Amino acid sequence: MKSSTRKTEATLPVLRKISASAVMRALVSGATLDATGLMEATGLSRPTVLTVCDELLKLGWVSEIETSSRLAARSGRPSRRFTLNAAAGYVLGIDLGATKLQICLADLAGTIVSEHSARWRDEHVGAPERLMVARRAAWEVLAQAGVEPSKVMAAGMAVPAPVRPNGHAVALESYLPGLAALDLRLALLPDFDWPLIVDNDANLAVIAERWLGIAQDVDDVVVLLSGERLGAGIYLGGQLIRGGGAAGEMRFLELVEGVGNTDAIGGMCRELGAIAAAEILDGERPGHANDSELLQQCGGIPASMEAEMVINAARKGDPAAREVLEVVTERTARVIAVVATFLDPQMIVLSGGPAGAGDVLIPSLNKELDGLNSAHPHLAASTLTDHAPLLGAVRVALNHAFASLLV
């Protein structure tokens, strides 16, 4: 009996935390819910819901909405109604991308209240400098919002590499110098001692798409990051698939005929677009330079070409830009066919830099997939543009914050 009592006593705080987290998650949508609504959303009993809400009210995380006296008189004892106090705390989201930093401060409802982004001074800048820049940017977003560091409950960080449980990334030195040597869980020290949850950017992207994006309520979905390098965030059966930490890495594409590496849509459009523009400028392609929409997009300087410029030129019918997209979509369709054959998802979402080009890319990719006679899941472009990993970082930080309630 004594051991059973001790077990019950040890379990109660855990159950309270789980219940509090469930209530907070239900209120994050911005809805005002009464006890019945919270019971339906969480599966908890009425006494548990009301007990948890009373504790959250004392902590300031939840507010109670008063029912008008007229309604109370008409309906008898009014049902208590609760809403999230979103400004009771904050979380930080960081996307430590290959080419740029994105960082934001969000309230407990997940609403971004301040944001900052900046390109790295060099694409091969070392990891220690990247983290130093990220810490400085964290101070900046806090100052923009007028929020003290003590109000931040947790932070999440996306990195373009698999992350092991020991906090070290599996990253090539030639790609992200110095990253593998660091325990990324300590990345915000000595400036901030917030709990920091670090994960692969593709994993966080698929979390974001299921939270706020186009894949809400889809249990079998793959998010394909297609900016600079291909990576996949995989949700099957409603569960994030991690494997040993490197599930979704695309290095196997080096063995796939017609693909050969992990170059993605954004990087390929930029590089091939620059080559095409240079050939037009040098007279190596048909047509006159003055008539080239592709050259106009880059200001006549091929080296300044960006993927969006190629997409915009293709939308306007530029033949060189369309040729670039044909090459890119043929190759990407092979990648999608392989992923779809292996994993059989309901949906594949294109995320990252070219996500805003879905009107151009999706029809071409569907046509290519039809020609390959392969598995053909529903293709969609992310509605979160290049914010998916950042928002995924916010989501996991919120999850950690809610799990720490009622400690």
| Peptide bond before residue 195 is cis, with ω within 30 degrees of 0 | no
pLDDT of residue 75: 53
Do 233 and 369 belong to one domain? yes
Structure-token pair, residue 194: 């917030």
What is the DSSP pairing of strand 347-351 with strand 221-225? parallel
Do 226 and 334 belong to one domain? yes
Segment among 1-5, 122-126, 181-185, 362-366 with least mean pLDDT: 1-5
Average pLDDT, the chain: 90
Give helix 46-59 / helix 35-42 axis angle, nearest 10°. Answer: 110
DSSP E strands, 221-346: 221-225, 231-236, 239-240
Do 176 and 66 belong to one domain? no
Tally of domains within the chain: 3
pLDDT of residue 15: 81
- Is residue 83 within 8 A of residue 63, CB to CB? The reply is yes
Region 39-48 average pLDDT: 92
Do 260 and 314 belong to one domain? yes
Do 238 and 357 belong to one domain? yes
Do 28 and 106 belong to one domain? no
Rounded Cα distance, 49 and 52, in Å: 5
In single-letter form, the type of residue at position 257 comes to E
- Is residue 186 within 8 A of residue 223, CB to CB? The reply is no
pLDDT of residue 10: 41
Phi-psi region of 287 (alpha: psi -120 to 50; beta: other; left: phi over 0): left
3-state secondary structure of 197: strand
Do 76 and 97 belong to one domain? no
- Is residue 137 within 8 A of residue 218, CB to CB? The reply is no
Do 204 and 57 belong to one domain? no
Interacting residues of 181 by C-beta distance below 8 A, sequence separation 6+ = 127, 168
Q: Per residue in 391-401, pLDDT tens?
A: 999 999 999 99
Question: Does residue 44 register a pLDDT over 50?
Answer: yes
Interacting residues of 266 by C-beta distance below 8 A, sequence separation 6+ = 226, 227, 228, 307, 352, 353, 354
Is the model more confident about 385 or about 222? 222
70-74: which pairs have CB atoms within 8 A and are 24 or more residues apart? none
Q: Per residue in 161-175, pLDDT tens?
A: 999 888 999 888 888
Rounded Cα distance, 189 and 171, in Å: 21
Q: Per residue in 292-328, pLDDT tens?
A: 999 999 999 999 999 999 999 999 999 999 999 999 9
19: domain CATH number is: 1.10.10.10
Do 313 and 326 belong to one domain? yes
Do 235 and 343 belong to one domain? yes
Rounded Cα distance, 147 and 144, in Å: 8
Do 61 and 164 belong to one domain? no
Rounded Cα distance, 158 and 143, in Å: 22
Do 250 and 182 belong to one domain? no
Domain of 61, in residue numbers:
2-87
362: domain CATH number is: 3.30.420.40
Confidence band, pLDDT 50/70/90 cuts, at residue 374: confident
Segment among 73-82, 89-98, 140-149, 284-293 with least mean pLDDT: 73-82
Structure-token pair, residue 82: 């609760």
Confidence band, pLDDT 50/70/90 cuts, at residue 50: very high
Region 107-124 average pLDDT: 94
Confidence band, pLDDT 50/70/90 cuts, at residue 77: low
Q: Rounded to two decimals, what is the model's pTM?
A: 0.89
